[in-house]
Amino acid sequence: MEEKILKLCGKKHVKLGIMGGTFNPIHFGHLVTAEEALQQFELDKVIFIPTGSPPHKTSGILASPEDRYLMSVIATASNPDFFVSRIEIDRQRTSYTIDTLKELKNIFGNRATLYFITGADAILEILTWKASGEIMQYCRFIAATRPGYDIKKIEDLKEKILSNYDFINSGDRQHIYLMEIPALAISSTDIRRRIKENSPIKYLLPESVCNYLLKHGLYK
């Protein structure tokens, strides 16, 4: 899959968005975020990477890795700029961001600049991630925010990172980019709650994903 991305891009160097998450289930908030990053940061492709065994507990029921992978494939199938990777699904152990980024670096080498796309709240916890210093040497970050989000928190984090890591001071000072996404009001947690309570979920996620999870009785 990764080599296919390089061939499709047809460039010596590519800009790739990395969209990691449990995708439990994947919804329009994820897709809108990925598309906005693709356009706003002129990325060549966005790779969705469903977590296999997440290091942090997930509230509510966690669908199987295979179900979450298949739902991600179904949701992104109509967009030629979106790909889904099995890197973490096939790892068969707890998945850490640093391990995935190292693996992608081994695959793409210097032919790609990686942009890790995630929510602003997750970014605020980055200094607690495993090998956080190493992580910031492998990629840049795009922090998706909701309208009205207090961006001062992110600005304070940037200053803390700049003061702690000399390699960023000497290179790309703008290491975390902010991106406002109205659709982030949609959440996987709320979708799971709605399914459990038999409340409507239409228009919160792709119809094909909705049909899949209902057919397989997920989150009941």
CB burial string 96-118: b at 16+ within 10 A, e below: bbbbbbeebeebbeeebebbbbb
Answer positive or negative: Cα dihedral of 202, 203, 204, 206: positive
SS3 call for 19: strand
Residue 86: inside a domain, yes or no? yes
The range of the structural domain enclosing residue 110 comes to: 2-215
Residue 170: inside a domain, yes or no? yes
- The larger pLDDT score, comparing residue 66 to residue 136, is at 66
pLDDT digit string (tens) for 122-172? 888 888 888 888 888 899 999 999 878 888 888 888 888 777 766 554 445
SS3 call for 1: coil
CATH of the domain at 149: 3.40.50.620
SS3 call for 69: helix
Q: Indicate whether 43 pLDDT > 50.
A: yes
Q: Per the confidence metrics, is the pTM higher than 0.95? A: no
The percentage of the chain sitting over the pLDDT mark of 90, rounded to a whole number, equals 55
Residue 220: inside a domain, yes or no? no
Residue 76: inside a domain, yes or no? yes
Helix (H) / strand (E) containing 17: strand 14-21
